[in-house]
A and B are shown apart, each in its own frame.
Chain A
Amino acid sequence: MSRLWLCRKATKLAIGDAMLDLTYETPKPKVIAGAKHDWELVIGMEVHAQISSKAKLFSGASTKFGAEPNANVAFVDAAMPGMLPVINDFCIEQAVRTGLGLKAQINLTSAFDRKNYFYPDLPQGYQISQLYHPIVGEGEVLVDMEPGVARLVRVERIHIEQDAGKSIHDMDPNMSFVDLNRTGVALMEIVSRPDIRGPEEAAAYVIKLRQILRYLGTCDGNMQNGNLRADVNVSVCLPGQYEKYYETQDFSHLGTRCEIKNMNSMRFIQQAIDVEAKRQISILESGGKVVQETRLYDPDKGETRSMRSKEEAHDYRYFPDPDLLPLVIEQGWVDDIAASLPELPDAKRARFISNFGLSEYDASVLTAETASADFFEQVAAEHDGKIAANWVINELFGRLKKDDLEITSSPVSPAQLAGVIGLIISGDISGKIAKDLFEIVYTEGGDPAQIVEDRGMKQVTDTGAIEAAVDQVIADNPAQVEKAKANPKLAGWFVGQVMKATGGKANPKAVNQLVAAKLGL
């Protein structure tokens, strides 16, 4: 039964001209122990990603965040009578690009439908969406859990739709205030199959999806501003049931699901899934039935609760939008977009591992953002990849984090960091001095080689000078010399004294050898 996660899976990735086999193990599903027996989680996600366009999906109003209320509103968005939607070409392209990035089927003909419901932040009285004929079909996301462990989550579809406006409920005791700036902004709804098997996997799925979207440049992934939100479908089942579903694609093997709406934090997604699964288990174990419904997560109370008002209006009476002809795109156009895709995270990571000899962990850290990966590649172009990775991850990222800076605003350029590393490799400075040099370059800027020259930071490799320093320390400390002869471990003390005397500039290797030789060890 458990062949799903016991077998190792492999996927092929093109790295330049070569194909690379990525082998990974499927993670174990999360198991929650109930009062009677164990339960497993089954999770599907609908991620709403705002398309990074300048103008809205069907109007020429701006999508800019933080504008004055109702400033970014065209007559189309306000649903003034007689106004007709005209689709934004760029938004279609971004949806196709996203589909290609998720290795998905692109539908050359898709169509728009009206999803009817009344709410003050939706002046049309319907949302224009794509229920029956989405622009993107089946795709996939490889969700990394830890080195060598990943789950391939199937994407069912991606469709384009309009966002709604924003209601503010706390400005007046009796009224809700509505801002239509967001109304009509283009969203991609990315719908997964129920292939996610635990809260951590759900968060990892959103992280990976966000990473791919950011690589593609189709969505900025800013969750704080609500540009990436997730609806989570949660159900529980007995061990073994999921495998039956997977083999037959028959949902009757799975439990009844509840949908938790509109979450924009990884932490809340995980908490909500956990809380909701436990709620369902306690209902089932006490002989009850889970009712399929929409729920909201309340992080303050740590519970999910039913959105009853939403249920009443659940009859959306979808029908094809008569204002919009079917969307027909050409294969040649899709091919052009495919040819312009950047290298995506999985391929980049695999290439970093195979070309630079990095660990999977280091490669993952460096490829989290395109900007970090580009930075690293510029440094690694001149030096050994492992040393470059070490400096970028440990020194640079560590220092940037301290100042709460992004890689894009790093005070140290790739050329400067490469310069620092070059000076270590050439033996001009020691590793310890290099850290001081890095700090100087970080805070003051400048050419590393010039700084070393100007401030006399060069490592002393001249054995004569080092020898003199060693002789001096030995001559000054006869008692220590006797002790060291009896206990060779104390030689380290002499090395330390010599380094101190030379201001840390002596080549440690040379000092070690000379101290040992002079002490006759």
Chain B
Amino acid sequence: MAIDTETAARVAKLARIKVEDSDLPALAGEFNAILGFIEQLNEVDVSGIEPMTSVTPMRLKRRVDAVTDGDQQDKIRANAPDFREGFFAVPKVVE
């Protein structure tokens, strides 16, 4: 699968990362190098093998259903550029 500049631009847009048009060919080239590297894995025959999801045999950690967190608006808002009347304020998004 080859990534062209148009696809590279689309991926950048979906990721909300600004990429100048002049940088797109280089970006597409990097994508292709990465994908080409990963494609080598296709040479391995994995039929009948369960996908490995963790290097160590671990079980998904679970929590009990209890309220142990919250009521910390001051901390939650610490990084927010704009916070008013208890809400995060963001540039208007209307459907």
Residue positions of A touching B, CB distance < 8 A:
53-55, 59-62, 68-75, 78, 80, 86-92, 111, 116, 118-120, 167-169, 171-180, 296, 307, 309-310, 313, 315, 317, 320, 324-328
Nearest A residue to B78 by beta-carbon distance? A80
Please name all residues of chain B whose beta carbon is closer than 8 Å to the beta carbon of A313 when the two chains form the complex.
14
**Residue from A74, A92, A324 having most chain B Cβ neighbours under 10 A:** A74
| Complex partner residue of A325 from B58, B75, B77, B95, CB under 8 angstroms | B58
| In the bound complex, CA of A306 to CA of B72 (Å) | 39
Q: B1-55: which residues lie under 8 A (CB-CB) from chain A?
A: 10, 14, 16, 53-54
CB < 8 Å: which of A59, A69, A174, A328 contacts B86?
A69
- A90 CA / B65 CA spacing, docked (Å): 6
Contact residue among A70, A307, A324, A326 (Cβ-Cβ distance under 8 Å from B73): A70
Q: Which of A60, A167, A169, A328 contacts B67 (CB 8 A)?
A: A60
Set A68, A86, A324, A327: member contacting B63, Cβ < 8 A? A86
Number of residue pairs spanning A and B whose beta carbons lie under 8 angstroms apart: 133
Q: Please tell me if the beta carbons of B63 and A87 are within 8 angstroms of each other in the complex.
A: yes
Cα separation A91 to B63 with both chains bound (whole Å): 10
Given contacts A69-B87, A309-B95, A328-B59, contact A89 B76 (CB under 8 A): no
A172 vs B95: C-alpha distance when bound (angstroms): 16
Shortest CB-to-CB span from B87 to chain A, Å, is: 4
Interface size class of B (residues with CB under 8 A): 35 or more
Task: Give the residue name and chain of the A residue nearest to B94 (CB).
Answer: A169
B88:A177 contact, CB within 8 angstroms = yes
Contact present for A61 and B62 (CB under 8 Å): no
Determine how close the nearest CB of chain B comes to the CB of A23; give it in whole angstroms: 41
B70 to chain A, nearest CB (A): 4
Give the interface SS of chain B, mostly helix, strand, loop or mixed: loop
Determine the chain A residues whose CB is within 8 A of the CB of B84 once the complex forms: 172, 175, 177
Partner of B66, one of A54, A80, A118: A54
The reply to whether B69 and A325 form a contact with Cβ atoms under 8 Å apart is: no
Q: Which residue of B lies closest to A316 (CB)?
A: B14
**B91 — which chain A residues lie within 8 A by C-beta?**
174-176
For this complex, 5 residue pairs linking A to B, each with C-beta atoms less than 8 Å apart, are: A70-B76, A176-B92, A177-B84, A177-B89, A180-B88
Q: Do the beta carbons of A168 and B87 come within 8 Å of each other? A: yes
Q: Are A61 and B70 in contact (CB under 8 A)?
A: yes
Report B's interface with A, CB cutoff 8 A.
Answer: 10, 14, 16, 53-54, 58-73, 75-77, 79, 82, 84-95
Contact of A70 among B68, B86, B93 (CB under 8 A): B86
B62 touches A177 (CB 8 A): no
Contact across chains for B60 and A324 when beta carbons are under 8 A apart? yes
Query: Nearest CB to that of A178 among chain B residues?
Result: B88
Contact check, A88 vs B62: say whether CB atoms are below 8 A apart: yes
Residues of B within 8 A of A325 (CB): 53-54, 58-60
Q: Are A73 and B62 in contact (CB under 8 A)?
A: no
In angstroms, Cα B21 to Cα A247, docked, is 51
Residues of A within 8 A of B88 (CB): 70, 120, 177-180
Q: Say whether A180 contacts B14, CB under 8 Å.
A: no
Q: Which residue of A lies closest to B72 (CB)?
A: A73
B71 touches A71 (CB 8 A): yes
Q: Are B86 and A326 in touch, CB under 8 angstroms?
A: no
List A contacts of B58 (CB < 8 A).
Answer: 325
Q: What residue of chain A has the Cβ atom nearest to residue B71's Cβ?
A: A71
Q: Which of A53, A116, A174, A175 has the most CB of B within 10 A?
A: A175
Partner of B87 from the list A173, A179, A317 (CB cut-off 8 Å) is: A179
* Distance A167 CA – B91 CA, assembled complex (angstroms): 11
In Å, the complex CA distance between A168 and B77 comes to 17
Is B73 a contact of A167 with CB atoms below 8 Å?
no
| Alpha-carbon distance between A62 and B67 when the two chains are bound, in angstroms | 5
Q: How far is the CA of A75 from the CA of B68 in the complex (A)?
A: 12
- In whole angstroms, how far apart are the Cα atoms of A168 and B68 in the complex? 27
> How far is A309 from B65 in the complex, measured between Cα atoms in Å?
36
B16 contacts across to A, CB distance below 8 A: 118
| Contacting residues, chain B, for A60 (C-beta < 8 A) | 63, 66-70
List B contacts of A68 (CB < 8 A): 73, 86
Q: List A contacts of B68 (CB < 8 A).
A: 55, 60
CB distance A92 to B62 under 8 Å?
yes
* A59 and B79 alpha carbons, distance in the complex (Å): 20
User: What is the CB-to-nearest-CB distance from B92 to chain A, in angstroms, rounded to a whole number?
Assistant: 5
Whether B65 and A177, one on each chain, are in contact in the complex, defined by CB atoms closer than 8 angstroms, is: no
Please report the C-alpha to C-alpha distance between residue A178 and residue B89 in the assembled complex, in whole angstroms: 6
User: Which chain B residue lies CB-closest to A111?
Assistant: B53
Known: A118-B16, A176-B93, A328-B60. 12 other contacts (CB 8 A): A55-B63, A60-B69, A68-B73, A69-B85, A70-B77, A70-B87, A89-B65, A90-B64, A92-B62, A111-B53, A175-B90, A176-B91
User: Do A167 and B76 have beta carbons less than 8 Å apart?
Assistant: no
Distance (Å) between the CB of A10 and the closest chain B CB?
40
Q: Which residues of B contact A173 (CB under 8 A)?
A: 92
Q: How long is the Cα–Cα vector from A86 to B85 in the complex, in angstroms?
A: 30
Q: Are B92 and A89 in contact (CB under 8 A)?
A: no
Given contacts A169-B92, A176-B91, A177-B85, contact A88 B63 (CB under 8 A): yes
Instruction: With A70-B87, A325-B59, A328-B60 as known contacts, state yes or no: A296 contacts B54, CB within 8 Å.
Output: no
Q: Which residues of the other chain, A, contact B75 by a CB distance below 8 angstroms?
A: 75
Q: Select A176's contact among B59, B61, B62, B89, beta carbons within 8 Å.
A: B89
Q: How far is the CB of A518 from chain B (nearest CB, A)?
A: 74
Residues of B within 8 A of A88 (CB): 62-65
- Residues of the B chain whose Cβ atoms lie less than 8 Å from the Cβ of A324: 60
